[in-house]
């Protein structure tokens, strides 16, 4: 496999929370994805200043779980299909629960996923020359693993995905070539509402494709080929490796998707975030509903298009939402004003991780002590500055939703100077991956 002698032989000794196997080679700990204890690898060393390793298996232990994806191990999308789901859950949850013990919450709940496949309501596939449609190779961003389907996305998406090849057959060279900078189509994104029949296919093109005669022809054929209720073309820079982003037009339907939770509709922009596994996220919502207080104000940080405000806003007279994405903020404010015409609604677009954003938070002039604050930040969590702002302006109740529980635990260490951790929920909307979701409920100290 490699034109050199192995650096050494490594046996996998244990599994880590990131679902990788770990072994020791000399004094080095080396992680190998998709491995199990007892697997043996010849390890090869490369590089001088920046050392990295590659490996070749020489003994593979029998697997008790059969991956549903034929490209598992090549594609970088999943990391756990070689493990039975209960083992995945235990590996991911145990270090979080152990670290949580130091904060001594009054109650801790854990929740396994009901389904470990066919759960994702959005997938983004790269498009490369020669009709290659797929996901990035594990460990190599420049290589694409062609996929005909993806077992963790919805059944609808797996029926829609092959239709792109029909479109590519009609328009040879439509795929964007990153080296030659020819062609136009960079990404194909599939979004499916879980609790209704709305669906969306998003084709991301280079910006020079916009308003061309070829675009009109491709749009016409797309309406004939795709089954999605909404077909969106969006356009961004040639050098930008970003899917479903930029200026957009609806070839059919709308540039937004309607999702339904608890009988309430959510208008999700084509480029807006929505929970990737709504069925599992219902457990989080039910947990929040059972814990949320009823003071005068609701503050919804990282609000997106108003997801939490729509679900829980009926209990409050004033709702403040903040997010960095203007399209989501606009959609959220419009929805909230329609749903709650008698309430004071204010949705603002600015960066909560920037000091100017914190200044705008201060200028909101909320009676923080009479507010429930919901925070659903990105994986990076809250910044130390934002945590200190919350410490200086203690709210009646702080509910922190996190897609990275380790960073949540990091932030608890700062917040505990002003807040007491009362309750904690750990659940798994992301089977086959190392990720989990958590909710922490805080009450203010010294009140």
For residue 46, list its beta bridge partners: 52
Q: What does the buried/exposed string (b/e) look like for 203-214 if buried means 16 or more CB atoms within 10 Å of the residue's CB?
A: bbbbeebeeeee
State the Cα–Cα distance between residues 120 and 157, nearest whole angstrom.
9
Q: Residue 308: phi, psi to the nearest 5?
A: -70, -35
CA distances from 58 to 10, 43, 112, 248 (A): 10, 10, 35, 50
- Give residues with Cβ within 8 angstroms of 208, minimum separation 6: 184, 238
Please provide the DSSP assignment of 306-346 as one string.
THHHHHHGGG-SEEEEEES-HHHHHHHHHHHHHH-TTSEEE
State the Cα–Cα distance between residues 166 and 275, nearest whole angstrom.
30
Q: Which of 234, 181, 227, 176 is nearest to 203 (CA)?
A: 234
Asked whether residue 302 is marked as a ligand-binding residue, the answer is yes
State the Cα–Cα distance between residues 36 and 17, nearest whole angstrom.
13
- Give residues with Cβ within 8 angstroms of 67, minimum separation 6: 73, 78, 81, 82
Residues designated as active site: 403
Asked whether residue 323 is marked as a ligand-binding residue, the answer is yes
Please provide the DSSP assignment of 22-49 as one string.
EEEETTEEEEETT--TT-EEEEEEE-SS
Query: Strands 140-146 and 132-137, how do they pair?
Result: antiparallel
State the Cα–Cα distance between residues 42 and 57, nearest whole angstrom.
6
Instruction: Kindly report the length of the chain.
Output: 447
Q: Which of 315, 287, 301 is nearest to 352 (CA)?
A: 301
Rg, C-alpha atoms of the chain? 24
For residue 30, list its beta bridge partners: 23
For residue 393, list its beta bridge partners: none
Query: Strands 107-111 and 52-59, how do they pair?
Result: unpaired
Asked whether residue 376 is marked as a ligand-binding residue, the answer is yes
Q: Which of 124, 120, 123 is nearest to 154 (CA)?
A: 120
Instruction: For residue 93, give both structure tokens.
Output: 């949850």
Asked whether residue 177 is marked as a ligand-binding residue, the answer is no
- Give residues with Cβ within 8 angstroms of 293, minimum separation 6: 372, 396, 397
Which residues participate in the annotated binding site? 275, 302, 323, 376
Q: Which residues are annotated as a binding site for S-adenosyl-L-methionine?
A: 275, 302, 323, 376
């Amino acid at each position: 496999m490699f034109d050199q002698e192995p650096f050494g032989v490594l046996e996998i000794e244990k599994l880590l929370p990131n679902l990788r196997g770990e072994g020791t080679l000399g004094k080095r700990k080396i992680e190998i994805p998709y491995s199990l204890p007892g697997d043996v690898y010849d390890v090869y060393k490369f590089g001088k200043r920046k050392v990295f390793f590659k490996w070749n298996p020489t003994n593979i232990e029998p697997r008790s779980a059969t991956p549903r994806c034929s490209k598992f191990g090549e594609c970088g999308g999943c990391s756990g299909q070689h493990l039975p789901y209960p083992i995945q859950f235990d590996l991911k949850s145990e270090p979080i629960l152990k670290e949580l013990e130091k904060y001594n919450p009054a109650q801790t709940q854990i929740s396994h996923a009901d389904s470990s496949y066919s759960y994702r309501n959005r997938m983004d596939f790269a498009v490369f020359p020669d009709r290659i449609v797929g996901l990035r190779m594990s460990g190599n961003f420049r290589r694409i693993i062609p996929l005909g389907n993806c077992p963790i996305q919805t059944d609808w998406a797996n029926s829609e995905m092959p239709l792109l090849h029909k479109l590519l057959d009609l328009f040879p060279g439509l795929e964007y070539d990153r080296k030659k900078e020819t062609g136009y189509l960079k990404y194909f994104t599939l979004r499916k509402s879980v609790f209704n029949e709305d669906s969306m296919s998003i084709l991301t093109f280079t910006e020079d494709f916009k308003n061309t005669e070829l675009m009109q022809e491709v749009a016409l054929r797309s309406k004939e080929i795709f089954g999605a209720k909404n077909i969106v073309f969006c356009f961004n820079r040639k050098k930008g490796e970003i899917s479903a982003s930029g200026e957009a037009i609806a070839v059919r339907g709308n540039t937004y998707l309607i999702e339904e939770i608890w009988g309430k509709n959510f208008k999700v922009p084509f480029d807006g975030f929505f929970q990737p596994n709504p069925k599992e996220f219902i457990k989080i919502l039910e947990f929040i509903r059972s814990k949320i207080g009823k003071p005068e104000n609701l503050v919804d940080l990282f609000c997106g298009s108003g997801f939490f405000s729509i679900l829980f806003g009926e209990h409050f007279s004033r709702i403040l939402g903040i997010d960095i994405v203007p399209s989501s903020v606009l959609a959220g404010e419009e929805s909230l004003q329609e749903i709650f015409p008698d309430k004071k609604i204010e949705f603002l677009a600015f960066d909560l991780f920037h000091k100017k954003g914190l200044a705008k938070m201060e200028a909101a002039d909320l009676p923080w002590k009479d507010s429930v604050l919901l925070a659903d930040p990105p994986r990076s969590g809250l910044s130390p500055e934002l945590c200190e702002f919350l410490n200086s302006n203690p709210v009646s109740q702080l509910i922190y939703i996190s897609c990275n529980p380790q960073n949540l635990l990091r932030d608890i260490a700062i917040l505990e100077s002003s807040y007491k951790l009362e309750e904690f929920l750990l659940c798994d909307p992301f089977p086959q991956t190392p990720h989990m979701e958590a909710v922490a409920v805080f009450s203010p100290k010294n009140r």
